[in-house]
Structures are given as C-alpha cells and as structure tokens.
Amino acid sequence: MRIRRSIRGASVSMSRFDPRLISEPLEQRRREGTLRQRTIISSRRGSRITVDGREYVNFSSNDYLGLATSPILMAAWREGAEFWGAGSGASPLVTGMTAAHEELEQFICGFLGMEAALLFSSGFAANQAAVKTFVPRGGVIHADRLAHASLAEAAMLSGARLFRFRHNDPVSLRRSLELHGPGLIITEGVFSMDGDESPLGAILSLADEFHAPVLLDDAHGFGVLGDGGRGSVSAQGLAHSSFDLVVGTFGKAFGTGGAFVAGERAVISCLVNFAREYVYSTHMPPCCAHATLAAMKYASRNESLRERLRENIAFFRERMAGSPLEILPSRVSIQPVMAGSSARALAMSSLLRERGILAGAIRPPTVPQGTARIRLSVTAAHTREDLELLASALDEAGRLS
C-alpha cells in the first residue's frame, strides 16, 4: 500500500507498512545478492530476444520446442480470437466455458488415455487446486523435497501434515509412508531446477503397496519426452491412468499458457465442485485453448521437433564435456551449470550477457544455499551457432572465481 502526498509542492511517497515487512527484507536480499528484478523484453522471435535495445540469444526460455512464436501457433491464436474474442469473460461455471475449452479437454483425455481433464489458467493454480481439494486438514502428504513451490505451498495451505522425502529416493519415501501412514504422494516428472527425472515406477509400486494416491506434476516432461510428447510417464513405459492426478502445463513445450489436471471422471468432478482456484477464477481465454489444441496436434505429429531438441542437447553436452564447470546430468532442455555462490552465479550471468547471451542466475531461496547456478534452457529453436557461442562464453565464465 503506497500513499502519495504533496508537501510544499513536492510529491512524497509514503507507506503505512511496518518497515520490518518492506525495507528490511529487501535490504537483506540486496546484501545476499538474491534480490529479484524483472527483465523487460521489447521483442522476441525464435531464440532471439531484445532487451534495452540489444538482441540476445535466449537461453532462459521454457519454450522448449520453439513453438511460442511459430507462424502455425500465431495463426491459430488469431483464428481463435476472431471467433471467440480476446477473453472468456467469466468463470467456467458461469459463462466462461466454451466449446474450445471442451475440445481441448477431450483431446488431452485421448492423448493421455485418461477419463477426464480440467483446464486452469496456470500451473500454479492447477497444483494448488489438486492438492488442497483432495487432502483433508490433518491429513498426510509425502512430497519430494525438491517439489515445485506451488506444490509445497499448497501442501502447507491445506492444513495437512507435510513430510518431505529425500529427492528421488524411494527408500526415503517408504520410510515416510511407514512412519506417518498413507497419504498423497507428490512428485514431478522432470524437476525444474536440476533437470533430473523421478523414478516413477518405484513410486507407483509404493503407492500400490500402501494404497496411497499419487499426484504427478509433469510440467517439464509434457510435450518433450515420450511417444508423441506424452511426457515422463510414456518415456518410462508407464500408463497415465496409473496415476490419480496428472498435472501438465501448456506454457512450456506447447508455447501458449495455462494448465490441466487429469484423472478419473469422479476426481475431476470434485475439482469442478470444490476447487476454489477453478470455481472463482475467470477461465482461460478461449483463443488460448484454441491455439493450445493446435499446438498439441502439431507437436504430437512432428517428432522432428523433439529430435532437433535432442540433437541440440547432445551437441551442447558434448561441447562442454571437458569443461571444469559442473553441469548436472540431464537429458532434457534444463541444463544447470553450477556456480555455488550467488555472487559467482551473478558474475557468470553478467559475463554471458556481455557476450550476447541471456541466461539467468538462479539463487536461494529458489535453490538451496550453496547451489546457485546458471539454469540454461536448450531449445529446438537454437542453432549450432547459438550453442557454440554459449559454450565459448561458458569456457570464459568457468575461469571466474
């Protein structure tokens, strides 16, 4: 809350907030080198973006298949907007639900082999709804220690007892289930900061043994891994119907925005009736649903998109094989280059920017202390020249202390 008052002709900005809530936390972030600031993009096309009048090669994007600015997707968005208008105009239970939304939901069901799906305006909202709707206050949640912030926050808001098992460790999950009893198991297909993958088969075996439901957030695997881009479940030879809740997003591999939750018909009906994030929010724009359907159909049919992505990832990792920099093992777009301290991560990011590359420094509290990094995102839109430029700049950045 900010108040502007005029004192002797001068405009003075004042706040009634306690400084302990505003200035002191911000100053602490500045001292730690973890203060977040926004980057304003003035134009974007493929792997190129413009910031402050300078063009950069963008290695910070989740647009894994390079579809966000593709002519196919932009034409589909325009077509949807011409027919449906710019926005949905209401929540989905009033008049915000259109045939475009229904068609996308039905395609997702057929694509994943699940009974029903429900659209949300963001992955954050979808995860919040999925957790809070199905875990009673005082219930139990077993979550991977590195589960996304939206899942961790939903678990805390649910009023359930939250127990975190060691990352990607079925033995730790078993111990948690034995100690605290069955409850919702939460994991991800691909983890957003490390780019590693969950042992889904082992988790499903424990879920069956302890009769515990499983929520899988496959935001970073959906569209990229598996047959036709069906995601982590398909890539590991499993069936989506084995999971009680599957969450996927459209703002990454499919280049649009929003998310879905898929599950059994009765489960999705519960979300329609009880998920406040769905009931009380203006629905996803129908033109977005229309464009997303076009993106899913196009990407699922064109394996060349994923092949190009795999080739780019392989080229980058081969080029960096002899580097002294620690690059975490990952077969997906997310390629984390470890820096250790926040100061070193910022220095590396600054050097890359000087060389015409935009790659963000990820620092605590997003990642644990001592694990600050450059989170690179290699996409299908990058050229070999882009990747060579990146590798050369990283060779130089690796010499920073």
Which tens digit of pLDDT belongs to each residue from 88-116? 999 999 999 999 999 999 999 999 999 99
CATH 3.90.1150.10 boundaries in the chain:
35-62+303-397
Instruction: Please report the pLDDT score of residue 148 as a whole number.
Output: 95
CA distances from 200 to 53, 72, 214, 243 (A): 45, 34, 10, 10
Instruction: Please report the pLDDT score of residue 99 as a whole number.
Output: 98
Tell me how far apart the alpha carbons of residues 394 and 400 are, in angstroms, rounded to a whole number.
10
Helices in 256-302 by DSSP H: which ranges? 265-274, 276-279, 286-301
Residue 278 CB: number of other CB atoms within 10 A? 24
Residue 220 annotated among the catalytic residues of the structure: yes
- Residue pLDDT tens, the chain, 401 long: 444 444 444 444 567 888 888 888 889 988 888 888 888 889 989 899 999 999 999 999 999 999 999 999 999 999 999 999 999 999 999 999 999 999 999 999 999 999 999 999 999 999 999 999 999 999 999 999 999 999 999 999 999 999 999 999 999 999 999 999 999 999 999 999 999 999 999 999 999 999 999 999 999 999 999 999 999 999 999 999 999 999 999 999 999 999 999 999 999 999 999 999 999 999 999 999 999 999 999 999 999 999 999 999 999 999 999 899 999 999 999 999 999 999 999 999 999 999 999 998 999 988 999 999 999 999 999 999 999 999 999 999 888 86
Residue 62 annotated among the catalytic residues of the structure: yes
Catalytic residue among 101, 148, 240, 382: 148
Catalytic residue among 63, 105, 188, 386: 188
Catalytic residue among 62, 91, 300, 302: 62
Instruction: Please report the pLDDT score of residue 165 as a whole number.
Output: 98
Catalytic residue among 101, 252, 283, 382: 252
Residue 326 annotated among the catalytic residues of the structure: no
Catalytic residue among 122, 192, 232, 330: 192
Instruction: Please report the pLDDT score of residue 60 as a whole number.
Output: 94
Catalytic residue among 101, 132, 142, 220: 220
Residue 382 annotated among the catalytic residues of the structure: no
Fold exhibited by the domain 71-301? Aspartate Aminotransferase; domain 2 (3.40.640)
Residue 330 annotated among the catalytic residues of the structure: no
Residue 91 annotated among the catalytic residues of the structure: no
Q: Which of 67, 70, 96, 71 shows the shortest CA–CA distance to 84?
A: 96
Catalytic residue among 217, 218, 244, 386: 217
CATH architecture of the domain covering 35-62+303-397: Alpha-Beta Complex (3.90)
CATH 3.40.640.10 boundaries in the chain:
71-301
Residue 188 annotated among the catalytic residues of the structure: yes
Residue 60 CB: number of other CB atoms within 10 A? 17
